[in-house]
Amino acid sequence: MSSQDGDALAIQARGLRKTFHDPQRGEVEAVRGLDLECRHGEIYGLLGPNGAGKTTTLRMLATILAPTAGSASIDGVDVAADPLEVRRRIGFLSGSTGLYARMTARETLRYFGRMHGIAKGPLEARVDELIEAFDMGSFAEGRCEALSTGQKQRVSIARAVLHDPPVLILDEPTTGLDILASSAMIDFIESRRSAGTCVLFSTHILSEAERLCDRIGVIYDGRMLAVGSLKELQSQTGEEWLEDVFKALVRDADGAALGDPVQ
């Protein structure tokens, strides 16, 4: 399913834009000409405050929102030209990813497995594998409406990876989780690197970006301010801590927008 030969990119976006109409503010540009590249076997973090454009960007890449302008492809497939094939190649998780309340965790995985066309025998084996991998045995037969936030999140991520996609797009995957559930999610994301999966995830939690990311894209006011490894961003800004790196990039961007010389 994946086109991992040579230097093929798992995710590529060029000049991506998204404009919304707000009754009070008029046209609002949530994403402004964003470029992005992610490779197979890479963990790439989109770092920015709430409202920076992270979620809008991920939803365009996942074919949930249509770009106003620009282009994007997933594993070589254009998101606008063939959204169905893109959805076969991604696992997408966001805070609004819904679960059917009356289905059990096991039934949920079976249902989405059938939607992906997985045959019954392999599907049962895959469901059992994921229930064990995400430690869901104690609540696999419980209805989703009765699960805790952390349990629901585990079901949701299992659902996202059920068909073993080459690309994972995760929108703030640890939001609302307790310490143990958050740690388990981080461990899972980290494990995808050796599996050759491309993971693009958004966060505003600096420690997650520092631990997980091969590269970090700093997004602010709909624009990509800088991209690089932590060391590269430290070198670019002259700052040691990621918090200070982020603040320096934002300060320079705000200064440039006001016409001040960039220091």
Over residues 214-240, mean pLDDT: 96
Q: What are phi and psi of 164, to 5 degrees?
A: 55, 60
- What is 9-228's CATH topology? Rossmann fold (3.40.50)
Cβ–Cβ under 8 Å, residues 227 and 35: no
DSSP β-bridge partners for residue 218: 47, 226
List, in sequence order, every residue forming a beta bridge with 12; answer none if it has no partner: 37, 73
pLDDT of 118 higher than 90:
yes
> Hey, which residues does 172 pair with through a beta bridge?
none
- Helix (H) / strand (E) element for 42: namely none
The confidence score (pLDDT) of residue 149 equals 84
- Whole-model pTM: value is 0.88
What would you measure as the largest C-alpha separation in the chain, in angstroms?
64
- Please say if the pLDDT value at position 3 is more than 80: no
The angle formed by the CA atoms of residues 90, 95 and 98, to the nearest 5 degrees, is 75
Nearest alpha-carbon partner for 41 in 85, 7, 87, 83: 7
pLDDT in tens, 103-115: 999 999 999 999 9
Cα end-to-end distance, the chain, whole Å = 47
What pLDDT is stored for residue 94 in this prediction? 85
Strand order in the sheet with 198-203: 90-93, 167-171, 198-203, 43-47, 215-220, 223-228
Asked whether residue 6 carries a pLDDT value surpassing 60, the answer given is: no
- 23-32, 127-136, 190-199, 252-261: range with lowest mean pLDDT: 252-261
In contact, 123 and 164? CB cutoff 8 Å: no
Q: What is the mean pLDDT of residues 215-238?
A: 96
Instruction: Supply the mean pLDDT for the chain.
Output: 90
